[in-house]
Every structure is written in C-alpha cells, then in structure tokens.
Amino acid sequence: MAARNGRTVRDLRRANRTAVLQRLYFDGPLSRFELGPATGLSSGSVSNVVADLVADGLVEEAGSVDSDGGRPRTLLRVAPGSGHMIGVDVGETRVRVELFDLTLTELARAEHPLTPQRYEVEAIVGHIRQGITEVLDTAGLAPERLLGVGIGVPGIVERTADRGALVHGQTIGWDAVPLEALLRAGSPPPDTVPYFIDNGAKTLGQAEMWFGAGRGAHNAVVVLFGSGVGASLVTPDVDQGRAVEWGHLTVRVRGRRCRCGALGCLEAYAGAESLLARWRESGGRVPDGADEETALTAMLAAAHPPEGGAPDPVALAVLEETAEYLGAGLSDLINLFQPERILIGGWAGLALGSRFLPAVRRHAMSYALRHPAGKVTVDLGRLGPDAVTVGAAILPLADFFARGGRRPDPAPEYPLPAWRTALQERIPR
C-alpha cells in the first residue's frame, strides 16, 4: 500500500527506524519520552519502533533517570555488539585495516607496510584480503556478521552497474581498476557483506564531520595531506561529501612535474613526496632507505632541532615554502567554496601542523578574498592518523542507518575482463 506522497508503508517504517537509530546513536542514551521531540514521531510510533529495534537486538536499555514526579524513565542506546564494520585505508606507506563495533570502538587492526612498488594492484588486493582475515581472526568474529567493508583509496572512484567500483588513480598507475570485483573474487566476506569504496580524502572528511572537528559545520572542506594532497567538500547540497582533486590545481605554469604527469600541480610542491624531493635537490640530507614518514620526521627535526641546536637552513626554507604553497592552495578552496571551516588531516598534515599551521593560515588569508577569508577558520583535524580508516567504516554504517538497521541484500556478481581474471589468480588468498 502506498502513502499519498508515493512512499509505501514499508518506506515509512524504514524512515522511522532510521530516525530513532540515528538519534540514539548521536545523542543517546535517550528515553522514549525524549525520542518523540528528537525525531518528530508520535509517542505511539516511538514505542512501536523501539520495540522492533529491541527485538532485533539493535537497541538495549542503558539505565534509567528520574522523571518529574513519575516513575523513572528507562534510557535506551544502540547496542554496540549488534553490528560490525571494517575500515581500510590504502595509504602511501601502508594498508591499514581496522575492525569496529557499531559504536566505532576499535576491536582489532592489521597494518601492512608497502614496498617502493607499493601500488601494484595484486599486492594491494592481497594486503586488503589478508588484513580482513587477520582482524576477523583476532576478534573471533564470523565474516557473516559484518555490515560491510569500507575502503578509502587514492584517486577517482566510478560506480558502475556491471563492474562495481572502478578506481581511476592516475598518480599511482591505476586505470579503471575493478577493485570491488577483484576483492569479491575470493575475499573472506560472503556476498551478503557489501564493499563501499571511495576516495580517501572523502572518507577522512566523513570521519571529521561525524566525530571530529567538523561537527556542527554546514560548509566545510577537509584536506588530506599525505604523500600527495586531496580534499573533500561538504555543503548542504553534498552532505555526504564530494572528493575534489585539489592537489592537481595548477599553481605554477611550466613548474615542477607532478606524479600525475602534468606540470605545476599543487601536489608537486605541497605533497610530502615532493617536499622531501625538494629538500634532497637543495642539498638536504634525506635518510637513506627511510620511508616518507621517517624522512619527514627527520626533516622536521633538522629544521627545528632540540634547544641549543642549529637549525638546518635548507630544511627550514623548504618547509616554509611548502607552507606558502599550501596556504595559496587553501585560498583557492576559500574563494571557490566559501566554507566556514577548513580542516587539515593526513599523516603529513598532522606532523607539520603543530609547527606550520600559523604560517599556513597567514598565507591562506593573504591570498584569499577578504570577505570569505573573514568567515573561515583553518584548523587541524581531531581524529589523528586513523581518520581515513574510521571514515571508511562509516560508509557501511551510514548505509545501515539508511536501511533502518536492516542488512543489505547479497551483492551482485561482477565479471572480470580476461586480463583481470589472470591477475586475480595471482593474488594471495
């Protein structure tokens, strides 16, 4: 039976379940009495929905509070163990896999360092598969109990009906890689467990907007500053965020060659990879054989040695120049999108932020138009280096809420092209 606005009774029930679950999740514990005004539902609807959610094991009692002269009111909360999600961060130096309960409490993690040939497709798929198996084994959790696996990747993600998620990662040599189909062919989770694949900057933005420094903002840009740079835009029109290839704005005509192949991209000056390359080219002593995180730590130590030590003028000059490029890049975001907040995250952003954030702010304000610059704040993200993984886990969680706490249908089968099938056979299970 359809309602007057075209929605069926089933749609209305799902919407009511979603409303109650989300309010309990973000604002709970709450009583049934409090859920009415919080959701806009009648007391009868709240009672029916809560009864269904309790019967499904999604909601549980969490103590009681005194009422004004009446019987104590029972508090309700989302049951943490009623669902589990996996978040994956395909980063520059490692693949990080984390298992969470429904309240995003971490239960297990696995980290797989990447070699210099780090973005070979079969290696990444193998790391993800192995990491999923490791965290499930550590927690003693059956794969069937997962609500989904969220994955943050570098590059543009295209969703297709016949091949699932395709990843276009020009900077890492990925051209329409059918990552979802490759993972589905032999991956530990069964077909009832969906994959959610999206740009890593977007998953970072999702995490900061839900649980970090972006909470309460209507317009925000969240910047991922790692080996390269990216950003996620969140506005009332795009409340789930949209990844923008900010790192490939041209900041210098006929400038340095970016790893995407173009000349003068912001990433060729502001990414950690290019930052370390410029230090080396200027005569800096980059530690031999060190990964990017270790090398950047050494560069920061050289530029700001312990008290009494002489700073390395080359390292300091390159870092200060990077702060100006980053600030100039932020000014483009300010002028284009006029956000109320800009948040900087990513391992390199967090490492540099404590010392160079004031300089980045100063340059951003000097290059931006006065009116939008006067309305924006520029700060560091609050969720630390795990923010991409947390944001990736939010993807199946958001889908779970949208379904009213119902589990998804089995995933479709995605055929692999012949060369991809041969590649898949070489991937370790």
272-304: per-residue pLDDT in tens? 999 999 999 999 888 887 888 889 999 999 998
Complete DSSP assignment for 198-227: EEHHHHHHHHHHHHSTTTT-SSEEEEEESS
> Are the C-beta atoms of residues 49 and 7 closer than 8 Å to each other?
no
Hey, which residues does 328 pair with through a beta bridge?
none
Q: What is the pLDDT of residue 428?
A: 46
91-95, 386-390, 393-397 — which is least confidently predicted? 91-95
Q: What is the pLDDT of residue 4?
A: 56
pLDDT higher than 70, residue 5 = no
pLDDT digits (tens, 9 = 90+) for 99-113: 999 999 999 999 998
Q: What is the mean pLDDT of residues 209-213?
A: 91
pLDDT higher than 50, residue 423 = no
Share of the chain above pLDDT 90, in %: 62
Q: What is the pLDDT of residue 237?
A: 66
Task: Name which of 113, 357, 27, 57 is nearest 225 in CA terms.
Answer: 357
**Entry pTM:** 0.86
Complete DSSP assignment for 376-405: -EEEE-SSGGGHHHHHHHHHHHHHHHHTTT
| Other Cβ atoms within 10 Å of 221 Cβ, number | 30
Sheet of strand 30-31, all strands in order from the earlier edge strand to the far edge = 30-31, 73-78, 59-65
Q: What is the pLDDT of residue 9?
A: 84
Task: Name which of 371, 401, 397, 381 is nearest 220 in CA terms.
Answer: 381
Q: What is the pLDDT of residue 15?
A: 93
Share of the chain above pLDDT 70, in %: 90
d(CA 27, CA 36): 13
Task: Name which of 350, 157, 160, 166 is nearest 242 in CA terms.
Answer: 157
Q: What is the mean pLDDT of residues 383-409?
A: 90
CA dihedral 248, 253, 259, 261 (to 10 degrees): 100
Q: Which tokens belong to 252?
A: 């210098």
Q: What is the mean pLDDT of residues 46-67?
A: 89
Give the chain's end-to-end CA distance (angstroms, integer).
47
Alpha helices (H) along 99-229: 121-139, 179-184, 200-211
> Are the C-beta atoms of residues 103 and 62 closer than 8 Å to each other?
no
d(CA 153, CA 164): 15
pLDDT digits (tens, 9 = 90+) for 170-190: 888 899 999 999 998 866 777
Q: Could you tell me which residue, 11 or 189, shows the higher pLDDT?
A: 11
209-223, 235-249, 324-338, 345-359 — which is least confidently predicted? 235-249
pLDDT digits (tens, 9 = 90+) for 19-50: 999 999 999 899 999 999 999 999 999 999 99
In three-state secondary structure terms, 333 is: helix
pLDDT higher than 80, residue 420 = no
Residue bearing tokens 């070489």: 426
Phi, psi of 147 (to 5 degrees): -80, -20
| Other Cβ atoms within 10 Å of 134 Cβ, number | 18
> Are the C-beta atoms of residues 331 and 364 closer than 8 Å to each other?
yes
Q: Could you tell me which residue, 306 or 48, shows the higher pLDDT?
A: 48
Q: Could you tell me which residue, 105 or 11, shows the higher pLDDT?
A: 105
pLDDT higher than 80, residue 67 = no
